[in-house]
Structure formats: C-alpha cells, structure tokens
Amino acid sequence: MSTSPESCWRLLPLCAATAGWNMALDEALLALGGEHAVLRFYTFEPPALSLGYFQGEFETAAARAALPEGHGVVRRFTGGGAIHHAAELTFSIAAPLDHPLYRGAVAASYERVHGLVAAALREFGVDATVRGARALASERAGTGMCFHHSSSVDLVWAGPVGLAKGVGSAQRRRAGRVLHHGSIKLWPDALEPGVATLAPAAEPDLAAELAAACVRVFERDLGARFESSGASTAEAALAASRAAWFGSAANLAPVRLGREPEGSAPAS
C-alpha cells in the first residue's frame, strides 16, 4: 500500500542537549527538513532560560536574576515570553506550510497541534483544553514568562490554585516552511509558579512516557507513519555552526540593536 508524503514523518527521538544545540537544530530543521514533516522531542542539559525573539532585557531581568547557577540563557528565533527549560518536555514540528497541520489560518494550526497534545495528556488523566475566553489563575503581569501570559489557543488545565496554562507554543514561518515548538510542563518549577503541570513532583521517566504518548496520538489521529532517525549530516553541520549564536551577546541584545544575522527573515 502506498503512502502519501503527508503521512510519512521523520521522528527524532527524545534527547537531552545544550540550549544552543537545541535551538540550532530546530533552526536547521526549519531550513533543511525536506518534504516530510519532522517530529522531535528534547530536554535541556543543563537547564536554561530561553527568551522570546522580541523580548527586551527589562522584561526578563527578574527571571535571569533568579536563575540557579549553571543554567544558561539563550534567545529563541520565535516570539513569546521566556521559558525556563527545566521541568518540562519540549517538542518541535518542522513541516512544509502546505502540510495539513498548517494549512489555513495560523490560529487554527495552533489548535490542531494542541488538540494532538491534549489527546496525549489525557492518557495521563489530564483534561487539557484550549483556553478560549476563560480567565486563568496562572496570569501574572510583569514577569516576562511565557506561562504567566496566555492566548485563546493555549492549552490549559487545573493548576495549583485554579485553571492554568500548561503548554506554551510558538512558530517561525520562513520560505514555505514552518517550525512549531512547544514546552509542556511536567512538574512544578520555582521560576514559573502557579502553572499547570502533568505531575505534582518530579518523575524521572515522565518526559519519555509523554513523548511516546504523543507519537501514539500522531499515529492514531493523523495517520502518521514514523521513521526514527537522527539529524541528517547537513542538519547536524548547520546546527553545529549555529549553536553558539543563540547564547551569544549579539543574540541576547535587544532586537533594535540589529542582533539578527544578515539574510535572516523576521519572526512571524
């Protein structure tokens, strides 16, 4: 039986890596990922704070000051607020813009992806839904943190004191392709209090179990057929050449100072 290009996916299994490498490999997948969609799972070792593309220093000063020793800082090539990548699982999807997940309105593409993540979370007894117009207990002004600010398409569920955000996502669209990455909170993190998490305390195997659940949902609900692989030679080479950039002083400077390298497209 033949399969369509839309149903054929590459899977980059769960891997821990430095913040710079994680950002650079996502960028390489956006540029070089090819005709098939790519699903990737990763964590940060050591943990790190990633700033949104447009964030200024004043927005994240408190978060950066509170970072534990040894936790790095990078700036993403996607927008949104800062994320502390410690007690979480990150996923990314790189695909052509005409892939069924991303056709049409941008907001609708977030809803489709979040619907798949919500189905995976249900395997763990979590009733995650799109926020819509509801108010959240996790909203906190002035922290600069992604999980303290929400949009109508964010995934939310019961947090420590009420309905709270538990998944943060962002996209970058360039040259007919899209990179969508998202952070799923696994257990509480002191730098991001009040958010929804998958478990009340740390569980060593939880990231791997959630990644496996996501794969099952993509197979069941999208009809995805996965081929497990590492990064291609070209993707790895590009990521290696770019990894240091994401934590560099030039990239961490405000956008108005021209930190974006020549030839790169602005964030969507």
Positions marked catalytic:
146
The per-residue DSSP string of 97-135 comes to TTSTTTSS-HHHHHHHHHHHHHHHHHTTT---EE-TT--
The structure tokens listed for 46 are: 């050591």
- What region does 252 belong to: left with phi over 0, alpha with psi -120 to 50, or beta? alpha
Single-letter amino acid code for the residue at 193: P
Q: Is 8 exposed, middle or buried (0-12, 13-18, 19+ CB in 10 A)?
A: middle
The sign of the dihedral angle between the CA atoms of 6, 217, 154, 13 is negative
The structure tokens listed for 146 are: 């992604």
The structure tokens listed for 75 are: 């700036």
Question: Which is nearest to 128 in space by CA: 140, 115, 139, 141?
Answer: 115
CA angle 52, 41, 240 (to 5 degrees): 70
Single-letter amino acid code for the residue at 114: H
